[in-house]
Structure 1
């Protein structure tokens, strides 16, 4: 282990930021300290815990407050990016007062987009704010509850709506990072991963998000615009978020009423010849999701079995063969068997345990 005579470089950088916060300083001094905190060796869990114990969250957000009024979006973004690195896995270090500061800044930036939408740096700062909010909600029901009681979800939907309006006028990469982080933030509100809370409100938050005014409509509109622009980035973020918030039948029906199913199928068809699809059988999570989707469709609507197994011309779709191939992936075996069973295909279901001892394993007394 490396030993430092004057202390760990990250600790020295935080001390320097604290001093700069108390006196007039040059921006270059601040940038130097922030760059030191971004070095790869400073991402270690123990180092980040040390920085949190040194009050780094308050220091960085106080500096953020200092530079936000002067419109130095680049520096503010850097401050929040450093903060994100520090609080990852330490969401308990972020409290309601910190979150409220970020929410206030987020609302202000979103409202400013109505007047001056062409500033790339604003979108970068919005992305940085969403990143911190996302990490603040991970395994932290208290923070999720606090945020869900504010207008942050509604403002986020308004932000997505603004992106849809500006889609044809701005380069996609201008707003994509903010869209990606915003989706990640919404998904974080639907989690139920806080071990200190017996019953979280993730499912309730998911329903609230989906029922927000224009939420599903805006998602479908954004996906449609991205598809028409032949841009793949962003679609997965939007669909992952939709899968997290559409948790009830009435929400599925509402999604379908906005031509959501048509957009979903269009997304699949537009990428059907992509060589990337050939990699999916080596991706267990994708295979499991596909098997579950097939199983859910045919178990609830058995009349769809023939549509999955044969094409309009009566030819074999090859689905049964693919599902049998998925059986070779240990982590996908259960899902693949469930799909084969509900498709009424041949499948060998094993009885894992029947309560009877096998000969030779137990000695009779």
Structure 2
């Protein structure tokens, strides 16, 4: 079990090293770190540099205290607050230890006090000065809560909702969405509490502001966070329910948005978001009817950036879960493009694995699709990917699926794979990965009509059952 200590315990040991053993500050810090590490103590949440502000206070403590004093003064000077906010944001951006320290000192509550008070002023008179102040507070909150979303409380959730409901300024909305995104990372309860406030309706309205590209990107990033299932503290999350509601409200607007924005950065965000929302068969049909198949072809012909290829492959795989959409994809000649991706980006293991998964999905239970892929040179591309990444489990597994689906209902081209030496590659993969996906490898060998020993998964013991 990993042991943890408080910041105060660490500081006391460093102080003792300086006062009792006459060490320099640098020596005292080095000795304290070595001592705690030898005891198996996790120091990731501890500020180790001992950079002090006034007196014996850490810079974080001193900054938070200054903000607290300013907040308690009704006539505080905006410039002084902005200066301290910038200092706190700088400290929080250093590492998780500084953020934890700031959280324990009460920075979150102070920032909410500033935000709440200034938001009331801004809603009465939308002046530029108050807008900049609110953005500074929001950016500091975002830095403070990076990887520590537990700080969010009911008051913070209400403020997020109030900002999204009442503010029209794009920069403030973007800062709010970035804060929201951090609150949702690895925290299922935050996602559920925010979603219960009907934040999906806000995202839908914000996405209609097509002239603000940065705002649209921020909306899509938040939408994807609600679809995550990354909180290990929760046994069952609501990622599917969130994705279902978000898809109803966002998937068609994002598809329409994509039609008008084919720049690289916007394309990557749109593809990633659409793929994350296609959790039901009918959603695949919705975007297919909206023209996503032809649009994907246009994107893949226009762009060659690695991340766009990866996101396009994920979206094709998601769409292929619907058999009718799968056929529409093949009708727009997506097959040669997927094979081309495998050739052009085959040296990247992640891209190769995703392209292989595309081939597997598009050829599943579809002999005509397998024929098309063989005619596009898919067999050579699949074997080449296996040779390029012999030790990558994902590439090898997805290659097995692709091979199996290509030949399962179309054995005429088995000889092509044999000529390329795929049997030896599959046997080599079995030696390495039999414990992980040995069944998949044997299934590919079986459908290739190779010599393979299949084991019975269950054997009866010959016991007579009583009537």
The reply to whether TM is greater than 0.5 is yes
| 2:361 pairs with 1:288 | no
The CA deviation at 1:234 is 1.6
> Which residue does 1:239 correspond to in 2?
271
> Which residue does 1:19 correspond to in 2?
69
The CA deviation at 1:81 is 1.2
Task: Provide the aligned C-alpha RMSD in A.
Answer: 2.6
The CA deviation at 1:317 is 8.6
Q: Which moved more, 1:76-85 or 1:332-341?
A: 332-341
> Which residue does 2:98 correspond to in 1?
47
> Which residue does 1:222 correspond to in 2?
257
Q: Quick one: distance in 1 between partners of 2:292 and 2:139? A: 34
Pairs within 5 Å for 1:1-365: 1=29, 2-3=49-50, 4=52, 5-23=55-73, 24-39=75-90, 42-68=93-119, 69-70=121-122, 71=126, 72-109=130-167, 112=168, 122-163=169-210, 167=211, 175-212=212-249, 215-227=250-262, 231-272=263-304, 280-311=345-376, 319-328=381-390, 330-331=392-393, 332-344=395-407, 345=417, 346=422, 348-349=426-427, 350=430, 352-353=434-435
State how many pairs are aligned. 325
Residue by residue, what CA displacement relative to the aligned partner does 1:229-288 show, whole Å, maximum 9, x if unpaired?
xx2122111111111111111110111011112212211111159999788444433332
- Consecutive unaligned residues in structure 1, runs of 5 or more: 113-121, 168-174, 355-365
Point out which structure has higher relative CO (alpha carbons under 8 A, 6+ apart).
1
Change (3 A) 1:285 1:333: same
- Consecutive unaligned residues in structure 2, runs of 5 or more: 1-28, 30-48, 310-340, 408-416, 439-467
Q: Quick one: distance in 1 between partners of 2:405 and 2:176? A: 45
Change (3 A) 1:322 1:81: farther
Q: Quick one: distance in 2 between partners of 1:335 and 1:14? A: 52
Tell me the TM-score normalised to structure 2 length: 0.64
The CA deviation at 1:342 is 2.0
Q: Which moved more, 1:16-25 or 1:292-301?
A: 292-301
Secondary structure (helix, strand or coil) at the match of 1:139 reads: coil
Q: Are the equivalent residues in 2 in contact too, given 1:17–1:30 (CA < 8 A)?
A: yes
> Which residue does 2:441 correspond to in 1?
none
Q: Are the equivalent residues in 1 in contact too, given 2:89–2:144 (CA < 8 A)?
A: no
